[in-house]
Amino acid sequence: MAGRFFARVCVKSINPATGQVVAEYAEHAAEGVEAILASNKSAQSCWRGHRLDERAAFLRRAADILEAETPRLAGL
């Protein structure tokens, strides 16, 4: 979070039907989780500082980007 990487180990999610790796997730040590939670709390405080109309505009823009990128994202 906040541009920092805390993971020491990656956990693989495997499709039991095919044996293929579906995704890899970072596994975090306790100190990494604490730092991530602190970062999230800081981001939430920043978000709360914006007016409702600003937050709504941001979410609409995010939705527009996701919609525009749907074909590319669907291929991942």
CB 14 within 8 A of CB 22: yes
The C-alpha atoms of residue 62 and residue 55 are separated, in whole angstroms, by 11
> Phi, psi (5° rounding) for residue 74?
-65, -25
Residue 50: the pLDDT is 95
Distance of CA 66 to CAs 43, 48, 72, 75, Å? Answer: 21, 23, 10, 13
pLDDT at 33: 85
pLDDT in tens, the chain (76 residues): 455 555 567 889 999 999 999 998 888 788 888 888 999 999 999 999 999 999 999 999 999 999 999 999 998 8
Specify the pLDDT at position 10.
84
Q: How many helices (H) and strands (E) does the chain have?
A: 3, 2
